Amino acid sequence: MVDARSTAGEQPAEAPAVRVLGDVALVHEGGTSSVPGSGRRAVLALLACHVGEPVHPDAIIAALWPEGEPRSAAKVVQTYVSQLRRMLADAGLGRDALLTTAAGYVLAIPRERCDAARFEDEAVVLMRAGASAAVAALDAVLAGWRGEPYAGVALPFAEEEAARLRALHARLELVRLERLVAEGMPEQALGRLEERAGAEPSDERTAAALIEALAALGRRGDALRAHERLRVALADELGVDPDPSIERRYLELLRAHDDVAAAPEARAADGAAPRPPSGAAGLPPDPAPLIGREAEVARVRDLLARRRLVTITGSGGAGKTRVALRVAHEESAGREVCWIPLAGLAEESRVAQHAMRALGLPEQIARPPLPVLIERLSRADTLVVLDNCEHVADGAARLVGVLLDACPGVAVLATSRTPLHAPGEQRWRLPALGLPAGASPDKVGECASGRLFVERARRVDPDFALTDDAARHVASICRALDGVPLALELAAARTGGLALRELDSRLSASLVLLTGGGAAMPRHRTLRAAIEWSHALLSEPQRRLLARLSVFASTFGADAVAAVCAQPGADDAETVATLADLVDASMVERTEDGAFRLLETVRQFAASGLGDEAPDLWTRHGAWVAASLEEVGAQLLFETARWYRRLDVLILEAQVAFDRALARGDAELGARIASGAGWSLINTGRYGLQCEWSERIMATGAVRSFAPDVGGHALLIFGATATIDGRHGIALARLDDALEAFARSSDATGALWVDYWRAAVLADLGRCGESVALSRDAAGRAGGHPEIEAALHAGLAEALAASAVDSAGEPRALLDEAARADAHARTLSRRAGLEEIAARVDMTDALLCAHRGDPATALERCAAELPRWRVLGRGNRLAVALIAAARVASDAGEAGRARELIAEGLETLDDLGWALPLGDAVEAAGAVTPDPAAAALLLGASSACTRTHRWHVPCDTARAQRLAHERLGPARVADLAAEGATLGFDALMSAARAAVA
């Protein structure tokens, strides 16, 4: 992120300076002294408006006397300047602070010595950074705003400058409010956003930030009303509709609002919690305008109406993704659309896994990805868009073949520079944009390439006019670039610095030189030549940064660029400014969420410029990824949802960095990447990736040679991962090795986390007495470490409560100790702000009511806790919470509610492919099903299934067993129980879901 040190605070507050924010004054060590005399103040104000630039005496006279100057005006100005020169020198700004030159008078002080100029410079840097600007940096710059600019100078020039600075301040404040919302602090932004929206009801950007803040706070109804106020204001004032991105957000909120409202009815109708609507999964916003592609979009849609696999081919930069995106948005009105971007994916073997992640599906513990994708996509009429397939074409072709065979309702639209060569593929090559039929303004404006060039040129120069002379050059440029869209955009981006005539001449000469004089070039050579030409116009620092940016696999923020790509000794502001220059030159794209990216064509070109520094850049990138993941792991317990979002952004970079590290033989860096995010990969449904990373690092055999802290942490996470699929022996062995590594590094906290996970494994193995003893001992040694102390007490409470379920004696003492441990964990977690542990102990406390024989109260409290786990759990903990709540509902006599909860719990387990808690799940399903045969089958199966001690609560199955014996007879019950004990995960999941449907 752009950091406060790089933008604000460079000029000490007590240093001599000219202050114009709040008043025109001189600031020095002794305090503030105003410049006496309104005339002198006005002259100083005008010079401050142009600090470092000459202001002609005639301009000063016109500014001071806008309605006509007196005869003595020139003499008066000379007197004011002479007096100001002495005052500035006396204030400590030097004898040369005000110079007389042939061009006029110059306030010759550094810009940072004028608070308005400093504010403007720092504000511009931060606004260029956008979504990468740190809130602290924004606060530091905004703190320099001391009041009304040019107060006391009641002249038109000062009023105009003050209005410009106020607008800049307002924009910067809005950036800060947007960052607060984006970084999970919407409550801090809400009040000011509401004030701004009330004052400027048609300001779309303010309204969009307000809508996001309200949505983040769970106030969907208020967010929808904020949208309606914006729509009415825009219609009344301008006669237009809100921006399409705001309309899309409105529809998302409306659907979510409708889902919440309809949920009780849906549950009542089918007995199961409904899945959220799929909508357009992962579909990016459609930026406008898409120029000159109307016929191509219609053609692709026509092909999709007749063929199930259409591949748009064409050279890089031809606009394949843009056309596919527009097609996807138009198709989404009539069917589900799933967008799967493949750019940045390095391994063909991971295409299916990557597709699952793009669709929001968790990676499976018990199943490979393809069956899960098939199940997900076989439910509806669906268009799957695979974008940028060329570098993983074989893997994409295999996925497409399987999906089309197994899912009759699926059609696939792919974009690739080369065909996929999949069965049934309809290939369609995207043509270049039409070229001008003549060189007149009318002919240029009629063709798509001309319109694109003019539209992009006007982004750089709003006054760009298509005169007769300009049209001749635009037509020449369009023909030279063969109508390739990206090449045209690169050329148009240069109109701000080159005259059109010069641009045409230099571009044509360069193309001939770069292509060996060939008149008819293939379009990929045209684009390559255009990129080389645009690259040659960059400064050396810009070229160097562009090459280094190729190290990123996907989108990246300015903070990442500063950390990975900055020159030694360069500050963040300098690097971000160079990045902004590359955006201006169209070599780097800015995404809607404020991040940056390289088009794949540009990225490949840029990578060729890395040369010998590539290994060093890969190492820096890997170290940045590792540090970022370690930050996620360290902060996850405090602001869980926020850091899950951060992990989502990092995951593709992490995969690439991990593979590079192992390819270079740097297993230790790979281990940092594989373990840095802690438990978050599991919690966010990425078990497959976490398990793959763990096993690949272990297979190197190098873990014992790592630095003890790295090796210990890696073994800790790899051991914890093995507990998920029941590999308890492997888990204990790895945890033992982790304990040894932590002993070598004298890491007491690491050793305590080993004890935490060992206790969890022992409890899952049914050795609850050993688990409780270990947790008690570790908790007694954890004072002063609130995170691990809270986690140990939370785990101790769960193990004690699980022990009480199967206790042969009096469980009261166990439950009393569990309540004490849980209360202690609650105190610690709330004091330290441990969001997830606080939710966990609250759920345990609710379940303790059921342990004490009050399932009705327990159910009521569980119902209040489950929404938290739908946000925080995102996987394993949510599944266990739902199963526990279902068992409580069963014991409370709420069979319908129990079936509803177990259906959602089974759905979550099925999404995860997770078998460990299946024993409790199928036992609960058997207890509440009205079908005695299903009850016998499931209750028999439950005895053979694995279980977890986590939130294990009683569930009375006596009534279900009695009814089964009465209606079926003991022999039939025994046969069904034996059959249930043989069922695999999928068959048992189907039987349990059918039983509670």
pLDDT, position 922: 94
Do 750 and 709 touch, CB atoms closer than 8 A?
Answer: yes
- CA-nearest of 766, 794, 577, 665 to 129 is 577
SS (H, E, C) 314-376: CCCCCCHHHHHHHHHHHHCCCCEEEEEECCCCCCHHHHHHHHHHHCCCCCCCCCCHHHHHHHH
How high is the pLDDT of residue 835? 83
Residues 6+ apart with CB under 8 A from 814: 800, 801, 803, 804, 807
The H or E element that residue 101 is part of is strand 98-101
Q: Where are the domains of the chain?
A: 1-183, 281-429, 441-537, 611-746, 882-997
Q: How many whole angstroms from its chain centre is CA 358?
A: 13
- Cβ(298)–Cβ(326) below 8 Å: no
Task: Give the pLDDT confidence score for residue 511 in this predicted structure.
Answer: 67
∠ at Cα 232 (227, 237), nearest 5°?
125
pLDDT for res 248: 66
With 0-12 CB in 10 A as exposed, 13-18 as middle and 19+ as buried, what is 662? buried
pLDDT given for residue 9 in this prediction: 41
* DSSP state, residue 310: E
What is the rounded CA–CA span in Å between residue 924 and residue 915?
A: 15
Cα(967)–Cα(934) distance, integer angstroms = 12
How far, in Å, CA of 386 to CA of 95, rounded? 67
Task: Give the separation between CA 921 and CA 942, rounded to whole angstroms.
Answer: 8
**Helices 748-764 and 768-780 meet at what angle, rounded to 10?**
160
Cβ atoms of 665 and 701 closer than 8 Å: no
CA angle 511, 515, 519 (to 5 degrees): 80
pLDDT at position 222: 76
The predicted pLDDT at position 791 comes to: 94
What are the residues facing 415 on neighbouring strands?
312
Give the containing element (helix H, strand E) for 410.
Answer: strand 410-415
State residue 818's pLDDT score. Answer: 93
State in Å, rounded, how far the first CA of the chain is from the last one.
Answer: 50
**Signed CA dihedral, 159, 165, 166, 168: sign only:** positive
Q: Residue 99 is encoded by which pair of tokens?
A: 């110079």
Which amino acid is it at 997?
A
Residues in the chain with pLDDT values less than 50: 1-13, 29-30, 255, 257-279, 514-521
Q: How would CATH label the architecture of 611-746?
A: Alpha Horseshoe (1.25)
CATH superfamily of 281-429: P-loop containing nucleotide triphosphate hydrolases (3.40.50.300)
Place of tokens 């993704």: 321
Q: pLDDT exceeding 90 applies to what percent of the chain? A: 31
Burial class (CB in 10 A: 0-12, 13-18, 19+), 229: middle
- Angstrom distance (rounded) from CA 253 to CA 189: 20
Between helices 932-942 and 985-996, what is the axis angle to 10°?
A: 140
C-alpha to C-alpha distances, 533 to 298, 324, 543, 585, 709, nearest whole angstrom: 34, 28, 12, 12, 49
Task: Provide the 3-class DSSP secondary structure of residue 556.
Answer: strand
- pLDDT number for residue 968: 92
Query: Which DSSP symbol is given to 36?
Result: S
The answer for residues whose C-beta is within 8 angstroms of residue 742's C-beta and 6 or more apart is: 708, 709, 712, 748, 750, 751, 754
Residue 367 near residue 913, CB atoms below 8 Å: yes
pTM listed for this prediction? 0.62
Q: Say which DSSP state 557 is in.
A: -
**pLDDT at position 271, please?**
33
Q: Are 724 and 880 in contact (CB under 8 A)?
A: no
Distance CA 353, CA 279 (A): 21
The pLDDT score that the predictor gives to residue 524 is 58
The two tokens of residue 219 are: 């106030």
The pLDDT of residue 550 is 92
Helix (H) or strand (E) holding 393: helix 393-406
Q: Which CATH number fits domain 1-183: 3.55.50.30, 3.50.30.50, 3.30.300.160, 1.10.10.10?
A: 1.10.10.10
Query: Residue 903: beta bridge partners?
Result: none
- State the pairing for strand pair 410-415/280-281: unpaired
